[in-house]
């Protein structure tokens, strides 16, 4: 079990993450780059000690929480690739292979069928776990099979926890893992990491900037490493009754979307601005989406596409704690969480 004590103020860490993201680096690389070399030798010594402390803090926050004194003979391959124990930070003994981040994708959006982001967090951990054992990109077939197995196993575990804690519709952590349907799970894997057979279409992990693919297989980006390292309340702390993401994870995910996918962010903003006056039904949200993105606009989306985009955005924002969905008689209404606007404005101001 990983017991994390934050030793750097969260807001400071978020600023570091955002600054590193803008330069296509992970946090530790960014800290090293920005050491000021133009001071006296003693200052350099003092600063080096300070930087080492900060890097150790980042290693505690962004989490290099494995035990480096583990036995050399430990063989992670003997464990189940899909087991949540295998995905925990304390089980990870090495560094993944990383690739460069790419800039903004102006017109790209996440797949509408991929409504949940928690499975993507699990996929990041799995890619880290497996790539750190081979020290190179993970081959497609190997990652694809392990990811399928992980979704099935952890979806089953989370479904039992959902039942135990009485989570209702929209709150269930197992949603998105497709653990009960083999065909649906294959579609989920294809959305997350791409279809087999060398398709040139970007996968969700590539679109959001968390992984990339080369001739040998899959590797994490610096953004993906940062998110993979952050402790997760479900994977690391075994708190099955808590939400799917920590505040720092939510901040990094929103930062990735804002930094990389301006159109996705615009849809989120359009929906959230429509909730400023209070809880609204789906019809009001669809009408607002139509004015911004519907037929006759530069986007010219059909009504069916508008509704798919609205459902996907609201579901993901609910998972990230920005939107609350509840029943109002026979209809479902959506409203902003207490700190939603503050979180969005912090993201927008901090990543420019």
Report the CATH number at residue 286. Answer: 1.10.10.10
Q: What is the pLDDT of residue 242?
A: 66
Phi, psi of 141 (to 5 degrees): -60, -40
pTM, 2 dp: 0.81
8 within some domain: no
Among 211, 235, 260, which residue terminates a domain? 260
For 259, residues 6+ apart whose C-beta sits below 8 A from its C-beta are 21, 22, 104, 209, 351
Token couple for 196: 């087999």
DSSP-derived secondary structure for 213-261: E-SS-EEE-HHHHHHHHS--TTTTS--TTS-SS-HHHHHHHHHHHHHH-
CA distance linking residue 110 with residue 56, whole number of Å? 34
User: Are residues 304 and 322 both part of a single domain?
Assistant: yes
Q: Residue 28: is its pLDDT beyond 90? A: no
36 within some domain: no
Place of tokens 């292979």: 97
Q: Parallel, antiparallel, or unpaired: how do β-strands 211-213 and 280-281 relate?
A: unpaired
90 within some domain: yes
User: Are residues 185 and 89 both part of a single domain?
Assistant: yes
Q: Identify the helix (H) or strand (E) that includes residue 331.
A: strand 331-336
Q: What is the pLDDT of residue 344?
A: 87
256 within some domain: yes
Of 37-46, 69-78, 201-210, the range with the lowest mean pLDDT is: 69-78
177 within some domain: yes
Q: Residue 342: is its pLDDT beyond 80? A: yes
Q: pLDDT higher for 41 or 275?
A: 275
User: Are residues 276 and 214 both part of a single domain?
Assistant: no
Q: Parallel, antiparallel, or unpaired: how do β-strands 211-213 and 331-336 relate?
A: unpaired
CA distance linking residue 66 with residue 75, whole number of Å? 14
Rounded mean pLDDT of the chain?
Answer: 81
Among 237, 260, 283, which residue terminates a domain? 260
User: Are residues 173 and 295 both part of a single domain?
Assistant: no
Average pLDDT value for residue range 330-336 = 88
28 within some domain: no
Token couple for 44: 């350099």
Q: Residue 71: is its pLDDT beyond 60? A: no
194 within some domain: yes
Confidence label for 104 from pLDDT (cuts 50, 70 and 90): very high
User: Are residues 300 and 318 both part of a single domain?
Assistant: yes
User: Are residues 162 and 130 both part of a single domain?
Assistant: yes
Of 79-88, 97-106, 341-350, the range with the lowest mean pLDDT is: 79-88
Q: Residue 288: is its pLDDT beyond 90? A: yes
Instruction: Let me know: does 277 contact 335? Beta carbons within 8 Å.
Output: no
**Total domains present in the chain:** 2
User: Are residues 275 and 253 both part of a single domain?
Assistant: no
User: Are residues 221 and 266 both part of a single domain?
Assistant: no
CA distance linking residue 206 with residue 212, whole number of Å? 5
Q: Residue 339: is its pLDDT beyond 80? A: yes
User: Are residues 125 and 86 both part of a single domain?
Assistant: yes
Place of tokens 């294959």: 186
Q: Residue 189: is its pLDDT beyond 90? A: yes
Question: Which residue range is the domain that position 325 belongs to?
Answer: 261-352
169 within some domain: yes
CA distance linking residue 156 with residue 178, whole number of Å? 9
Instruction: Let me know: does 176 contact 115? Beta carbons within 8 Å.
Output: yes
User: Are residues 168 and 255 both part of a single domain?
Assistant: yes
Closest to 252 (Cα-Cα) out of 13, 47, 4: 13
User: Are residues 191 and 267 both part of a single domain?
Assistant: no
Confidence label for 239 from pLDDT (cuts 50, 70 and 90): low
User: Are residues 254 and 273 both part of a single domain?
Assistant: no
Among 229, 260, 291, which residue terminates a domain? 260
Residue 257 CB-half CA count within 13 A: 21
Specify which of 102-106, 130-134, 289-293, 334-338 reaches the highest per-range mean pLDDT: 289-293
For 47, residues 6+ apart whose C-beta sits below 8 A from its C-beta are 35, 36, 39
Q: What is the pLDDT of residue 70?
A: 31
Confidence label for 54 from pLDDT (cuts 50, 70 and 90): very low
Question: Which residue intervals of the chain are DSSP H helices?
Answer: 10-22, 27-33, 41-61, 84-87, 118-134, 140-165, 182-193, 204-207, 222-229, 247-260, 262-273, 282-293, 303-319, 340-350
200-223 burial code (b ≥16 CB/10 A, e <16): eebbbbbbbbbbbbeeebbbbbbb
């Amino acid at each position: 079990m990983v017991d994390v004590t934050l030793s750097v103020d969260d807001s400071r860490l978020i600023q570091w993450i955002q600054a590193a993201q803008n330069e296509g680096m992970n946090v530790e690389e960014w800290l090293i780059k920005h050491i000021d070399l133009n001071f006296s030798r003693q200052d350099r010594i003092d600063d080096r000690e300070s930087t080492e402390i900060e890097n150790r803090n980042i290693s505690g926050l962004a989490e290099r929480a494995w035990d480096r004194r583990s036995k050399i003979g430990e063989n992670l391959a003997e464990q189940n690739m899909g087991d949540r124990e295998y995905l925990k930070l304390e089980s990870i003994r090495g560094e993944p292979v990383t690739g460069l981040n790419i800039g903004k994708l102006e017109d790209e959006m996440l797949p509408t069928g991929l409504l949940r982001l928690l499975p993507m967090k699990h996929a990041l951990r799995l890619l880290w776990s497996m790539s750190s054992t081979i020290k190179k990109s993970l081959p497609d077939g190997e990652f694809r099979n392990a990811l399928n197995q992980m979704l099935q196993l952890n979806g089953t575990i989370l479904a039992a926890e959902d039942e135990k804690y009485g989570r209702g519709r929209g709150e269930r952590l197992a949603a998105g893992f497709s653990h009960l349907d083999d065909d649906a799970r294959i579609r989920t894997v294809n959305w997350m990491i791409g279809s087999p057979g060398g398709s040139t279409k970007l996968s969700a992990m590539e679109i959001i900037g968390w992984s990339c693919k080369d001739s040998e297989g899959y590797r994490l980006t610096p953004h993906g490493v940062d998110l993979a390292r952050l402790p997760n309340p479900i994977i690391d702390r075994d708190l099955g009754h808590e939400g799917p993401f920590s505040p720092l994870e939510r901040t990094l995910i929103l930062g990735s979307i804002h930094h990389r996918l301006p159109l996705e962010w615009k849809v989120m903003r359009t929906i959230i601005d429509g909730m400023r006056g209070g809880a609204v039904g789906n019809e009001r949200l669809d009408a607002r989406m139509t004015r911004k993105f519907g037929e006759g606009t530069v986007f010219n989306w059909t009504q069916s596409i508008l509704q798919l985009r609205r459902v996907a955005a609201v579901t993901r924002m609910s998972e990230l704690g920005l939107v609350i969905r509840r029943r109002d008689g026979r209809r479902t209404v959506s409203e902003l969480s207490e700190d939603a606007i503050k979180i969005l404005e912090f993201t927008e101001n901090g990543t420019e």
